[in-house]
Structure 1
Amino acid sequence: MTQVHDHGGGVRSVEVPIPDNPLGHTLVYVVDTDRGPVLIDTGWDDPASWDTLAEGLTACGTSVADVHGVVITHHHPDHHGLSGRVREVSGAWVAMHAADIAIVRRTRETRPGRWYAYMAHKLTAAGAPEAHVAPLRADRPRRALPGLAPALPDREIVPGELLDLPGRRLRAVWTPGHTPGHVCLHLEERHPAGLTGRGRLFSGDHLLPRITPHIGLYEDPDDATVTDPLGDYLDSLERVGRLDPAEVLPAHQHAFADAPSRVRELLAHHEERLDGLLTLLAAPLTPWQLAELMEWNRPWDQIPYGSRNIAVSEAEAHLRRLVKLGRAEAVTGSEPVTYVAV
């Protein structure tokens, strides 16, 4: 049965399922405007997810065909997956931050084989064993990956500006880290239940009540720029904490209050994790070796193949932060490169 929640003040959410994912669902928010409903995210591109979204909109007293616009917090397929189909049915505009639009465009223009080759190169450089890398080099038809043909947005979200939601005040807040172009959306209106604070915040994956978002690497294979996504995320967290919204409406789990307290918890979590990694780096380790030793939600030998790639990306993001802080360094001449605490 489709789950729809009324958050008051012309805001509802629909639980759109994510197939075979422990998160369970994405909360797609339906915001009433003077020109019809605007969606914040759309959910995974799957027939059951589409049916759930359509049923949820009907339960909200509207339909997919009535949608005026779609605001995407970030490009991941559990958020952006159904955007193209919504636009086809309704003619709605689709908006996203420029940094994530660039990823969408690059994804659409790059053949799957190029991505597999790039992944193989990155994992080899990170110290992954040949048994893990070999499937990426196999000369066989490539299995389609989710999100390889995402809809290209037709509007750009500009940080600090109000979005085009007639009759509402929804301001974009750039919060890079989970992705380069992740945005939170600040509804600058009095809380409908009179809660103390400054409006409400649609937080996407940036700020969640009980879990921490993945912080990995999103890079252009043709760009050698060394990014610091964890540093970006921590800076963004502090920016959101200063907003002090009365309520946070995240893309997963449930709504919650006291954003500054949750921000402090996440900042402390990442500081504790960085300290723990320094202990592990008492001896030189490759990013793969570090990922094997890090604490995850299950033992390393129980982590699926694709999730190990994500874990190594997160280990690298933490290593970059430690290097930038001067707390770790690459070992000169090591191949694959290893890192050690300093």
Structure 2
Amino acid sequence: MAAQQDQVNPATATAAISPPIYISTPTLRSIITHRALIDHLKRTLPTNSTAIQSPLRHAHQTSPASSLLLMPSWSNSPSLPYIGVKLVTFNSNNSTLNLPGVHASYVLFNSLTGQTLASMDATELTLYRTSCISALASEYLSRKDSQTLLMIGAGAMAPHLIRAHVTVRPSLKRVIVWNRSVEKAKALVDNLRKEGGFDEGLSFEECNGSLEEFVRVADIVSCATCSETPLVKGQDLKNGAHLDLVGSFTHSMRECDDEAIRRSRVFIDNEAATVEAGELVGALERGVISRDDIVGDLVELIKREKVVGRRDEEEITVFKSVGSAVVDLISAQMVYETYMNDH
């Protein structure tokens, strides 16, 4: 068995004599689906995450409204012979220009030879990997009979989160989109209806009432904003709800209040969430929860050896993700090897 695991993938073997390739946004979209990436992460994270070295990301404030992030990772395992670096820029003012707040590129190298293998649009890769991580966690944490998804935020991440959550919870019948700009929420709903690809029984609507009103009826609440003021109040979460927090990655950002954290069983994608995400950093500093109250991370959820996901139909769960270079590398691996096998 060990010998089989150490075999180099055919795609990586042929890459040794191939020139570097560029995987554009249209190409990436043509070779990846949320379902395929969710399955790939579920299958490979438990076995490969320990083989990947991933130092803390470099984060540099380039202006009051913008940041540069460098996320390196590498593996010397013959079954995963890659070095990868994601270069990310974040500009909080881009919404006023009708541009995404995050732009990124990913560069993949062969870790055995140092050869440059590929570069790809990591803006799109990040949208896929982040939404699929949330959906994979939801598979273990949300109720299997969830019917209503509330999407808070209508930026570039929102349609991916919606599609990913619907992928793992086909029971969903209603998707509600809330955004500070109702026009943007309506535009997203219109685009989702036009693009299709959903079951006929799934309805979409923009949130015209108070946010609290829709939080109270949602089985899954997914947040992808840069809010520094809590949007989801714990008192409004109904029993059995699952709260998916994607947006915050600094101490000043908070998408939910302390009560939401206090009422919930809390899970994270990786340890960085406890020192980066405003919701958790603040709750830990204020003594709302202790580190022992964070039940487990995503890999532990998948393994189901020491950590149990949802235990009953009444408990409230929270999953907080901040992203990781490990998941970036495994996602880039799938894109690259799929491309090489197809070409």
TM-score w.r.t. the length of structure 2 is: 0.27
Greater radius of gyration (CA): 1
Identify the structure with the greater strand proportion.
Answer: 2
Name which structure has the greater RCO, CA cutoff 8 Å, separation 6+: 2
